[in-house]
Amino acid sequence: MANETSVKVAAYSRVSTLLGQDINHQLVPIRQMAIARGFDVIAEYSDEGISGTKMRRPGLDRLVRDAKLGKFKLLIIYALDRIGRDVKGTLDLFCELNEVGVSVISLRESIDFSTSIGRATMTILAAVAELEVSLVSERIKTALAVKRLAAKESGSNWRSGRPSVMTPEITLKVLELREAKLSIRQIEKALDRKISRASIERILRAHSERVKKYPSKVP
């Protein structure tokens, strides 16, 4: 029987069914670590056959809901890439969990994000994620510039991008939800994924820049 004062823990695992992975290869080490440290594993969440680039998954969504209900205070994963292969999305999720008092431990990387070293590691990961986004953006801008130049020289009417789904109403809704202290992940969910995470971040960044530049004119 688990000790009444033991830390309530959740486990999360994700596997690719295409590669024939066994989910127990992740869960067994997690259970062993929990037993060794006297933790009480109260729930196990998993997603099978879902890409790590997608931050919306049935198992992960249930985990976040239960975390907000205070069902556990520690999440143990086998490896960071089991949570996600999108570094920024993973960091956003960790911050969202941290806001409700849930810490994360990753076995493979031997990182406990509740410690000072773990928090420093998260800062480094965030910097790497920001650099990655910047480099991708620069490559896209360069590629589009080359295409625009080629179109101009050939006389074609090629134009980049898709019709914008951004409307004043959606922009206002994003700002209202952010004002209500919702995370980017929560805003994306509240808007039923009408716009992407990147679009939400652009709206918030543009608003923040306007506030800094015209503090008396932006409500």
Dihedral sign for Cα atoms in the order 88, 194, 183, 47: negative
**Residue of higher predicted confidence among 67 and 122:** 67
The residue whose two tokens read 């990753």 is 106
Cα 64–Cα 65–Cα 70 angle in degrees, nearest 5: 95
Q: Whole-prediction pTM value? A: 0.58
Q: What is the pLDDT of residues 15-45, one digit of tens each?
A: 876 556 788 999 999 999 999 999 999 999 9
The stretch 90-111 carries a mean pLDDT of 89
Q: What is the reported pLDDT for 29?
A: 95
Give the 3-state secondary structure of residue 185.
Answer: helix
Taking all residues of the chain, what is their mean pLDDT, rounded to a whole number? Answer: 82
pLDDT band at 66 (very low <50, low <70, confident <90, very high): very high
109 falls in which pLDDT band (50, 70, 90)? confident
User: Do the Cβ atoms of 27 and 13 come closer than 8 Å?
Assistant: yes
Asked if 79 and 52 touch (Cβ cutoff 8 Å), the reply is no
The span from the CA of 122 to the CA of 96, in Å, is: 13
pLDDT score at 53: 77
What is the DSSP pairing of strand 103-106 with strand 111-112? Answer: antiparallel
Residue 38, C-beta contacts closer than 8 angstroms, at least 6 positions apart = 3, 6, 7
What's the pLDDT score for residue 2?
44
Contact 105, 112 (CB under 8 A): yes
What is the predicted pLDDT for the residue at 207? 83
pLDDT per position as a tens digit, 146-192? 777 777 777 766 565 555 566 778 888 899 898 888 888 888 888 88
pLDDT grade, residue 12 (50/70/90)?
Answer: very high
The answer on pLDDT for 9 being more than 70 is yes
Rounded Cα distance, 2 and 6, in Å: 7
Catalytically active residues are 16
- pLDDT tens column, 126-140: 666 566 666 666 777
Model confidence pLDDT, tens digit, residues 143-152: 777 777 777 7
Q: H helices then E strands: how many in the chain?
A: 8, 5
